[in-house]
Amino acid sequence: MPVLEMKVSGLTCGHCVQTVTQAIQALDTHARVRVDLADGLVSAETAVDRASAVRAIEGAGYKVLPCTRD
């Protein structure tokens, strides 16, 4: 399964981790989501395309930042 890596602003606590994880898993219940609060990085092993994942995260109230690796 492909892995999406995104830099996300506004991640500060466990609730943020849960919210972002649920946003992605609402699109793919089998997604494996890891959130690094210190660096603001979200890594998701998922079949969901990047644009849909970005819309889901931003719909949950967070901002996905441009990633230099894109």
Tens digit of each residue's pLDDT (9 = 90 or more) over 22-68: 999 999 999 999 999 999 999 999 999 999 999 999 999 999 998 75
At residue 8, does pLDDT exceed 80? Answer: yes
Domains in the chain with CATH codes:
3-65 (3.30.70.100)
What sign for the dihedral angle of Cα 48, 53, 55, 60? positive
**pLDDT score, position 69:** 53
Are 17 and 37 in contact by the 8 Å Cβ rule? The answer is: yes
The Cα 38–Cα 13 span in angstroms is: 10
DSSP 69: T
